[in-house]
């Protein structure tokens, strides 16, 4: 089930593209933009995440940390982050496969990948808003900025 605004964001413990473990709970006190994407190196995900990369200053100015999550392996997310010069962390939800995507209600069982879901989380770990589109529809990162701007 997709967490709704006002509900606590499910915690997780995942490996980052830089090789360390990261939990959502350790980011309490900071705003987080959590971007689930289906596949690294794909025709929609690559320009979508590069667009977020290009807006990184905007997110920083709104005091937000950006994280990308896919069900790709650690090696894949690491290579993707390096090749595309992504300055934000990518997280691997590879094993148990899609566990975090399932907690957020955005696991697409038929293809074994995360669907396109973005969750903006406030400093207390509460979902402030989300942007969810179907697999073939890219998201507009301006919508993430709007949600961030509306957080007190």
45 has catalytic annotation: yes
Which two three-digit tokens encode residue 148?
Answer: 């961030």
The label of the residue with tokens 């989380």 reads 121
Residues 6+ apart with CB under 8 A from 98: 71, 107, 112, 113, 114
Which alpha helices (DSSP H) does the chain contain, by range? 45-54, 56-61, 74-83, 99-103, 141-150
The burial class, CB within 10 Å (0-12 / 13-18 / 19+), for 107 is buried
Given the residues 24, 33, 40, 45, the one annotated as active site: 45
- The residues that are catalytic are 45
């Amino acid at each position: 089930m997709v967490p709704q605004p006002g509900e606590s964001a499910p915690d997780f413990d995942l490996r980052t593209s830089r090789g360390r473990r990261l939990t959502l709970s350790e980011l309490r006190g900071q705003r987080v933009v959590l971007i689930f994407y289906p596949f690294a190196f794909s025709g929609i995900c690559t320009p979508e995440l590069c667009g977020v990369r290009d807006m990184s200053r905007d997110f920083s100015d709104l005091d937000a940390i950006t994280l990308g999550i896919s069900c790709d392996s650690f090696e894949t997310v690491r290579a993707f982050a390096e090749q595309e010069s992504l300055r934000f962390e990518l997280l691997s939800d590879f094993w148990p496969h899609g566990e975090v995507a399932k907690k957020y209600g955005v696991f697409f069982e038929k293809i074994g990948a995360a669907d396109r879901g973005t969750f903006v989380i406030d400093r207390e770990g509460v979902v402030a808003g989300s942007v969810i589109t179907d697999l073939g529809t890219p998201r507009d990162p301006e919508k993430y900025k709007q949600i961030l701007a509306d957080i007190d």
